Structures are given as structure tokens and as C-alpha cells.
Amino acid sequence: MDPDAQSLANRLEGPSLAKPFGTDHLGRDIFSRIVYGGRFSLAIAAIATIATSTIGVCLGLLSAMKRGWIDEFLTRTNDMLLALPEIVVALLVIAIMGPGFASMIVAVTIMGWTPTARLVRSLSFEILSKDYVEVARHLGCSKWFIIRHHVIPGLASPVMAQTALRFGLLLVGLGALSYLGVGVQPPQSDWGSMLADAQPYAARAPWGLLAPGAAIFIVTLSITLLGNAITHRTGRRDLLLIEANSPDKKASHVQ
């Protein structure tokens, strides 16, 4: 069914077999709009999550490995951005760039990398202080070898959990931007804009709010639980991988 097909004769109809989630104030099928709008909501959240996680991991590793003025600059920048309200910065970016798909991604990415960068920096310092890393340094292992075989395996599980949590937060945040009218613009729609459209008719047709709200809640919860499950499953494997790659462990095998 066409998610944009309007029928004023069928406006604000309740859920039925033909239309499981009912219709909105323009007679459009809410189920079709949930499925169609999910493409934009999930695509924007996924792209923004990948971008923020990648930037956060790279800058966190750079800060931990280089130290000195680079670490100081990145840490102060991180602290400054964390002190700013994300929604205000996002609104400012969208006001400059204009509403739309690309501006929403840029708006949430500018601030979104900071928690991941702080986590990666902290964990990297902890891993780099381990005895097996010191042994690797004394044996002449390069920084890239240490990052690849010791630091990254130790970061995998925490970053995975952080990424899953970040996806849920971004999905909610992007929905809030669309609800405020600065996100995806008509004729396109996402779950946040559906909430905004249904809000004036909440008393008469509550299903218009419940359907997109439930979609955001269920997807956010599912991704978070999936991230936790993957983290628990890979956590032990990462520890074994770190042990297997430690120089003293390899030396014992040689002997």
C-alpha cells in the first residue's frame, strides 16, 4: 500500500484487519508509513552510529598512542563538546545547513563521537600499561603491532556495547529532531515526524502516537540487547586472543 495515499473519508480510523495500526489525520495507512518511515529513521541512525564510532575510535587511539600536546588538545576538545547540550548543537547545525538527510547526520556526528573517544582513550591507557605490552615494547614490537594485537582486541567488546547504546540514543535523538520539524521533510517521513503529525489528535486517535513510539522503543531495546549479547559472547574470546598474542605466551610455546 502506498504510504502517502490519502483518503479523507477514512481519516483517523482505528486499527482493523485491513489496517492493523489504523489511519492518520489524512487517511494514510499508519502501518505502511511505519515500514516506509523506518527506512529513513534506521538509515540515518545507522550511518551516524558508524560515523561517530569510527571517529571516536580513531581519535581515542590517536590520543592514547601519541600523548603529549595531541592528547591534551583532543582531551580538552572532548571535554568542551561534552559540556554542550547535544540537542542545541544539533539544532544550530541544522539551522546553518538547512533541514534534511545530510544535515541530520552531520548534526549528530559532530557531538556523537565524544563518548566513544573518551572510552577508547581510557581503555587504551589501561591496556598499554599492562605487563605484556611492556614486554612487547622491549622485544621491539612496533606501535602498530601493539595496537593490532593488544589494544584493539581489548577494545572490541566495550566499543561494541557503546555502539549499540549509541545507536539507540541516536535513534531517539533523530526522532526528537524530526518531531521538532527540523529533520526529514515532507513528502518524506520518519518515525519522529509521524509522532509530530499525530500529536494534535492524540485524544481522539492515540494509535497514531503509539505505533511510531512503539517502533522507536522496540528497535532501540532490541539493538541494545543485541549489543549486550554480542559483548558477553565476544568478551571471553577477546581475553583469550590478547593472551595468545602476548609475547611471553608466544615465548613459552617456543620453549
Residue 135's CATH number: 1.10.3720.10
- Does 5 map to a domain? no
Cα-to-chain-centroid distance, residue 218: 15
The DSSP result for 152-174, as a single string, is: HHHHHHHHHHHHHHHHHHHHHHH
Q: How many domains is the chain built from?
A: 1
CA–CA–CA angle 105, 48, 76 (5° rounding): 90
- Does 236 map to a domain? yes
- Does 124 map to a domain? yes
- Does 128 map to a domain? yes
- Does 240 map to a domain? yes
**Ordered alpha helix ranges (H), the chain:** 30-66, 68-82, 86-97, 101-112, 114-128, 131-138, 143-146, 152-179, 191-198, 207-245, 247-254
As a whole number of angstroms, the distance between CA 191 and CA 41 comes to: 7
- Does 76 map to a domain? yes
- Per-residue model confidence as pLDDT tens for the chain (255 residues): 677 778 888 888 888 888 888 888 888 888 888 988 888 888 888 999 999 999 999 999 898 888 888 889 998 988 888 888 888 888 898 889 888 788 888 888 888 889 899 999 988 888 888 888 888 888 887 778 888 888 888 888 888 888 888 898 888 888 888 888 887 777 777 888 888 888 888 888 888 899 999 999 999 899 888 877 877 776 545 544 444 555 444 444 434
- Does 172 map to a domain? yes
- Does 221 map to a domain? yes
Range of the domain at 106: 32-248
